[in-house]
Structure 1
Amino acid sequence: MIAYLAHDIKTPLASVIGYLCLLDETPHLPEDLRHQYTHITLEKAYRLERLINEFFDIAKLNQTYSPLHKENIHLLYLLEQMKEEFYPLTSQKDQKIVIDVQEDLLVYVDAQKMARVFNNILKNAFHYSYEHTTINIHAYQDESYVHIVFENDGDTIPQDKIQKIFKQFYRLDESRNSKTGGSGLGLSIAKTIVEQHHGLIKVSSQNQHTIFDVMLPLHEL
C-alpha cells in the first residue's frame, strides 16, 4: 500500500512543480491563463495533501498495535478537548457538539489512543452529518461497561454498508473521497483500539439518525 501511495504522489507533485514553474518563468502571462494555472495547481496540491494524509493513517494503523499505557482519566475533560479541536471544522457547516457527561466519570484507558478513537468517530460524524445539526455525546454505565455514545443526523447508513463500516480501507461513500480525503482506516483504527481495551464498538442507523456506541469495561480484564 505504501509503495502504491509513493508512486501516486509523484503525479500531483510533478504537476504542482510544472505549473509553478510556468507561473514563475512567465511574468507576463495573460490573467485568464494565470488564474487557470493557479486553480489547477491548487487542485493538485489538495490531491497531494490527501495522499500524504493516507500515509499518516497507515502509520497510525501500525502504531495502533503498540502496548497500552492505561490510566484513570476524566472522560468529560478528554471529550471537551476533542470538541475544541473540532470547532474550526464544525463551524464550517454550522454544526455544534453537545456533551452530556458527568464531571466525575472516570475511564481506565490509554488517553492518547482513546483520543484517537473519539477523533475518528467525530470526524466521521462531521463529514456525514447534515449542515446546521448537532452532534450529541453522552455517557452512562451499566453492570459491565461505560458507554460513550455519539449521535448525529445525516443520511441513513444502509444495513449492507453497516456490516462493512469497520473494515480497513472501506469508504462509506466513494463519491465523497475528494471531500473527506480519508483512506478508509479511521473507523477500523477506532475498533482495533477499543478491542485492545477489551471493549466493543457498535453502530446503528435509521431514520437519518446514526449512533456509535463505544463500550469500555468497568473493571480491568
Structure 2
Amino acid sequence: MDEHTHNTGDRRELRMARSMCWHCQSEMAGEYFCDRCVKVQPVSKDLDYFTCFGLPRRLVIDTNVLETKFYELSRAFHPDFYQNKSDAEQTISLGNSAMLNTAYRTLRDPIQRAEYLLDLEAGAVKDIRTTPPADLFEEILELQDTLDEFRGSDRASAHASTLRTKLHADRTALEQRQREMEAQLLQLFGRWDALQDRGEATEQVRAERNHLLKDMRNILSNRTYVKNIVNDLVETIA
C-alpha cells in the first residue's frame, strides 16, 4: 500500500480542482488523496491562501500554526516522494508544492499578507504610487534634488561629504516614517480582525469594512513609495 494512505484522516481540508479523481474518476469529497486509487490530487487553483492553511481571513495570525500546517502539507506533497510515480503524479506534486510555498511566503509576512487580503477583498492593490504621500510632498521633492546633486558631484569632495551626511539623515527620517506607517497598519489589522470576528453583514458593517480596506490600501501605497525612496537612497549613498 502507498505510504501516503497512512494518517490521511486529518488531511482532508483542501478543496480539489475537480469533483472526481483524475485517475479513476471516483467521486472526491475534498481530500487530496483518492480513497479508491490513492493517487495524489491537484489542489484547486481557486483556493485562497488562508483557506489553504485552514485560517480565517485575519491579518493577525499565529505564525506557529501557519508554519506547522505548512510543514505538514509540504511532507504530503514533497516531490521526493513522487520520484517513482507517474508523470501525472509528479506534475501534481510539483504544482501543489509550488502553490504551498507561495502561499506560505505570502502569509508569513504581515505586509504581503495584508496586500494579499486586500487583493482578495477589494481587487488589485499593488499599484505603485507615482507621487509622494501628501504630508511628505515637499520633503520628498527636496530629497530628490539632493540626490540629483549628490549623483552629479565629485564623491571625494567636501561638498559630496556634506550631501552624504544629509542623505543619511533623510534616510533615518524616512525609515522612522515607514515604521510609523507599519504601526498604523497594525492598528487597522486589529480593527479588521475584530470586525471579522463579529460576523455581521449589516450595511453599517459593510461600510466599515470598505473604509478599513481603503485606509489600509492608502497606507500600504504610501509605505511602498517611501520604501522605494529609501532603497534608492541606500543604493545611491552606498
Larger radius of gyration: 2
TM-score in same-fold range (> 0.5): no
